[in-house]
Amino acid sequence: MTAATTPLQPLLHALLVTLRAPSQVWCSPDGQVHAHGLHGVYHADVRVLSQAEVRVDGELPEAIAAGGTGPGTFEASVVLRGIDGPGADPTTLLRRRRTVTPGEVTEELEVSSGTDVPVSGRVSVHLASDLARTETVKQGLPTAPVAPEVTSDGVRWSDDGTVVDVTAPGAEIHADHAGATLMWDVRVTPGQPVTVGWSVRSEVTAVVHAPATPAPEWSVPQVEADDRRLPALVTRSLADLDGLRMSAGFAPDETFLAAGAPWFFTLFGRDSIWAARLLLPLGTDLARGTLRTLAARQGTRTDPATSEQPGKILHEVRSQELKGEGGMSLPPLYYGTVDATSLWVCLLHDAWRWGMARDDVEGLLPALDAALGWMRDHGDADGDGFLDYADTTGHGLSNQGWKDSGDSIQWKDGRLAEGPIALSEVQAYAHEAAVGAADLLDALGRPGSHEWRDWAAALKARFREKFWLHDGDGPYVAIALDRHGAPVDSVASNMGHLLGTGLLDPDEERAVAHRLVSDDMSSGYGLRTLSTTSRGYWPLGYHRGTVWTHDTAIAVVGLAKAGLGAEAGVLARGLLEAAPHFAFQLPELYGGNEVGDGPGPLPYPAACHPQAWSAASAVAILTAALGLDPAPDGGLRATPPTPSAVGALDVDGLRVGGRSFRVRASADGAARVEPAQVEAAG
């Protein structure tokens, strides 16, 4: 295969998305769903329509405005100069209003005119479908149109697992092997708009589907801040998260957040856990649903083909085998993750502290015992005392932490680390999980707490001995240990996840903080994944120089928890500096170029947006800026770090258990906690 014919992953950065999980529409900035790239209407993991292109009298309209108008809604305004009256002013307008609900997309096409006399034209929508799997689209592989079937009320596409029905009241329908065209002849009188429309309903055999509950599982707080970027970011982020809410067929009454659109529109253990964890100050219902959903498919046996082990929390769920580059092939239920199990325990502990009902916590204790057992009995494959991973199948993920690309774990000189690999942040999660589990067991009067505190203390001692390195800028934590137990010497963002976990002492946390905000790591738009001093650094390298929103936010929360307010502020302001460049929808990741190097952060052209843990990062900034921590009596404590990263801040609608709170913090760090003035939505 030549370079000219090599399949290329489609780019996303310039496309607009409208979604209500598990349905999504990806279009160009003019609102058109063209027949190329990622464009399409998707349901679950199938592209049910690969084209939905509007023309008037055979001509493409000219867009003047387009964008989201609310959760699951979109509108494009286009001018129709081909049927317009005389003069320079555009006097014939088409508004394309799109609404996405789970399993259905509807469009209204409203034509209005400001001409002196009526105008006439033929409005058409050309539809096509390839019924391609999302992964096929992601790999840029060629697809072919599926021939439609004309029905009594529209047109249908179908295969063994998918049925797609289009209805178009009043339309003339022409269909052939390549697609179907819906047509309406309209005559528009000034002041009397004419509206036509169509809709598509889709059914796809899938493991995950949309939740039935209409409202989100969290509060929607009122936020006021001196830095006005923060309220805008919170508003947009929570709206995006609402569209990512899903449930699984094996836990249909529970809700979790899909990892991200378009590629990860399903349950991911690590991603869904982190998103729920960052949202805890807005309520525990999402955490409960996420914990229960993952517990329903917790590992029960040893199966090398799926990486399942007793007590292990899954990595991802798909409706069929997932094939990728380099011979990668993942089964529909895949457990190839080294960190999700410890993070599940951390989420349970944190949800308990934030007021999750005792009965709900106790109902998850068997899963807790199993998860702890995995950490002790299976997490350390090579017996060196650290949780590690290695793909034994030859077709699974070669890296199984959150940096899971093939070149993410490398030495300063660019060499790739050889597995089994023990990541630094994975040890921090395990330590935090063990200590948190011990506290939880004590609180519930259950045995075993001493064992887990001793286990955590031993891990902490081993970590201090093995993971610390020094260079000309001082001490830092290695990204990982390789198969020989050697510390991989890259300066990387992973060490930011250690802060606030209890794995480091205060002097060590200060050393890490110093490295995170240095010029080689902090771009001014957030935390780079890899230092610019590494040979492998590249500002658009997926895990080797880009900024990941959630990665920065986790470091911000950890820094604030460690009392390092100045450093937390540096990274928090970086995210706020980046947010307006992405219309306050912070994507999965973006370029590591520094402020002043170009008009803004470079878009990573294949980044998912919205992405669950990226959107949840807005709440992480609130948490850090207010120094939020639940109190043992069910109250809320606020100790804002100084200097403040956002000036004065007022948040009404925070939650601990069944109680709602308002926190008002001044720019100098004084804070007052009081009952919420108005119960927040949600």
Same domain, residue pair 174 and 266: no
| Sequence-ordered alpha helix ranges (H) in 218-339 | 229-243, 269-278, 285-295
Whether 497 is covered by a domain: the verdict is: yes
192 and 256, same structural domain?
no
For residues 273 and 137, membership in a common domain is answered with no
Alpha carbon distance 480, 467 (integer Å):
7
In a domain, 385, yes or no: yes
Rounded CA-CA distance 251/297 in Å is 9
Query: Could you say which DSSP state residue 421 is in?
Result: B
* Alpha helices (H) in 562-672, listed in sequence order: 565-578, 612-626
Asked whether residue 215 is domain-assigned, the answer is no
Say yes or no: 325 and 429 in one domain: yes
53 close to 107: Cβ distance less than 8 angstroms = no
Give phi and psi for 358, each to the nearest 5.
-55, -40
DSSP state of 281: G
Beta-bridged to residue 41, according to DSSP, are 25, 49
Q: Are residues 37 and 92 in the same domain?
A: yes
> How far apart, in whole angstroms, are the C-alpha atoms of residue 512 and residue 498?
9
d(CA 159, CA 269): 30
DSSP 676: -
Q: Whole-angstrom Cα distance, residue 574 to residue 600? A: 11
Give dist(CA 210, CA 205) in Å, integer: 13
What's the one-letter identity of residue 546?
A: T
Tell me how far apart the alpha carbons of residues 318 and 316 are, in angstroms, rounded to a whole number: 7
442: exposed, middle or buried (C-beta count within 10 Å: 0-12, 13-18, 19+)? Answer: middle
- In this structure, what DSSP letter does residue 4 have? G
Task: Tell me the C-alpha distance between 258 and 246, whole Å.
Answer: 6
Please report whether residue 214 resides in a domain.
no
Q: Helix or strand or coil: residue 77?
A: strand
Please give the pLDDT value at position 679: 59
Q: Are 62 and 19 in contact (CB under 8 A)?
A: no
pLDDT for position 324? 76
CATH of the domain at 47: 2.70.98.40
Residue 216 forms part of a structural domain: no
**CA–centroid distance for 349 within its chain:** 22
- Out of 206, 240, 274, a domain closes at 206
Through-space distance between the first and last CA atoms of the chain, rounded to whole angstroms:
53
Where among 172, 206, 240 does a domain terminate? 206
- pLDDT at site 682: 52
Kindly report the three-state secondary structure assignment for every residue of 471-525. Answer: ECCEEEECCEECCCCCEECCCEHHHHHHCCCCCCCHHHHHHHHHHHCCCCCECCC
Cα separation, 241 vs 259, whole angstroms:
10
Domain count, the chain: 2
Q: Which of 206, 235, 260 is the last residue of a domain?
A: 206
Q: Is the dihedral of CA 644, 648, 653, 657 positive or negative?
A: positive
Q: Are residues 143 and 269 in the same domain?
A: no
- What distances in angstroms separate CA 338 from CA 135, 303, 335, 427, one per listed residue? 24, 15, 9, 10
Give the model's pLDDT for residue 422: 98
Measure the CA–CA gap between 416 and 403, rounded to whole angstroms.
13
Q: Rounded to whole angstroms, how far apart are CA atoms 30 and 55?
A: 12
Report the greatest alpha carbon distance in the chain.
Answer: 85
* Domain coverage including residue 485: 222-674
Does 658 fall in a domain? yes
Are 241 and 610 contacting, i.e. CB atoms less than 8 angstroms apart? yes
Distance of alpha carbon 460 from alpha carbon 667, whole angstroms: 37
Residue 346: inside a domain, yes or no?
Answer: yes
- 145 and 264 in a single domain? The answer is no
Distance CA(482)–CA(410), nearest Å, equals: 10
Cα Rg of the chain (Å, integer):
26
pLDDT score recorded for residue 344:
99
Residues 6+ apart with CB under 8 A from 507: none
pLDDT for position 476? 98
628 is written with which tokens?
Answer: 């939020």
Same domain, 627 and 527: yes
pLDDT in tens, 536-584: 999 999 999 999 999 999 999 999 999 999 999 999 999 999 999 999 9
Instruction: Report the b/e string of 443-458 with b at 16+ CB within 10 A.
Output: eeeeeebeebbebbee
**CATH for 336:** 1.50.10.10
DSSP 168-193: -TT-EEEEETTEEEEEEEEEEBTTB-
Secondary structure class of 210 (helix, strand, coil): coil
Is there a single domain that holds both residue 380 and residue 422? yes
Residue partners of 627: CB distance under 8 A and separation at least 6: 560, 637, 638, 639, 640, 641, 671
Q: Where are the alpha helices (DSSP H) in 399-448?
A: 424-443
- Residue 427's SS3 state is helix
Q: Which of 241, 148, 208 is nearest to 620 (CA)?
A: 241
Q: Are 211 and 247 in contact (CB under 8 A)?
A: yes
Same domain, 151 and 257: no
Burial class from Cβ neighbours inside 10 Å (0-12, 13-18, 19+) for residue 270 reads: buried
Residue segments in the chain with a per-residue pLDDT below the cut of 70: 1-4, 212, 678-682
- Whether residue 242 sits in one domain with residue 349: yes
The reply to whether the predicted model has a pTM over 0.75 is yes
Contact (CB, 8 A) for 332 and 248: no
Three-class SS state of 656: strand
DSSP one-letter string for 90-142:
--EEEEEEEEEETTEEEEEEEEEE-SSS-EEEEEEEEEE---EEHHHHHTT--
Same structural domain, 190 and 230: no
Domain-embedded: residue 22:
yes
Using DSSP's 3-state secondary structure scheme, residue 340 falls into helix
